[in-house]
Amino acid sequence: MSCRNALAAFLASPSAAGWRDLPVFAEGAEAARACAAADAERAAGHIVAPAPERIFAALTLTPLDAVRVVVLGQDPYPTPGHANGLAFSYAGPPPLPRSLTNIYKERTADLGQAPPADGDLAGWAKQGVLLLNTALTVREGASKAGSHLSLGWGKVTDAVIAAVSRERAHAVFLLWGAPAQAKRPLIDESRHLVIASAHPSPLSARRGFFGSKPFSRANAWLEAQGERPVDW
Show which residues are catalytic: 75
- CA-to-CA distance for 114 and 101, rounded, in angstroms? 12
* 8 Å CB contact between 47 and 140: yes
